[in-house]
Amino acid sequence: MRHSISLGVIVCAMLSACSPPPVPKTQFSEAVEATEYPSLKPLGTLLKDAGDVTAEPAEIGGTDSLRNRAKQISGPVIDPKTKSELAAAVERHSSL
């Protein structure tokens, strides 16, 4: 009995593996159908065409203001009372 169930599972798995995968029914607009597939370009050509990238002083100053704001809001997440309560709970349960 056990072998017949195993054989049935194996046969079902084999039959499902032989079936073609389902094809999704997609509908594209005429504009999408009319466009050509983009051409692939070598990375070296793209990098050469990009040129040098430099940061403007205004962009650099923006990072300083972000760092200052981060310092202002980077306080403790748990207040001291809750922290001591959690530590006491851990202490109580660590002896179990």
Q: Which pLDDT tens digit goes with each residue over 11-29?
A: 877 777 777 777 777 788 8
Task: Please name the residue that has the structure tokens 């594209």.
Answer: 28
Q: Give the pLDDT mean for 61-66.
A: 77
The pLDDT value recorded for residue 60 is 63
Helix/strand number for the chain, H first, E second: 5, 0
Q: Looking at residue 82, what is its pLDDT?
A: 94
For residue 76, give Cα distances in angstroms to 31, 85, 88: 55, 15, 19
pLDDT of amino acid 55: 65
Q: What is the pLDDT of residue 44?
A: 85
Q: Global pTM? A: 0.27
Q: How far is it, in rounded angstroms, from Cα 17 to Cα 39?
A: 35
Contacts of 52 (CB under 8 A, 6+ apart): none
Q: Per-residue pLDDT tens for 79-92? A: 899 999 999 999 99
Is residue 86 a contact partner of residue 78, using CB atoms and an 8 Å limit? yes
| pLDDT of res. 85 | 95
Cα distance between residue 1 and residue 10, in whole Å: 14
Phi, psi for 3 (deg, rounded to 5): -70, -35
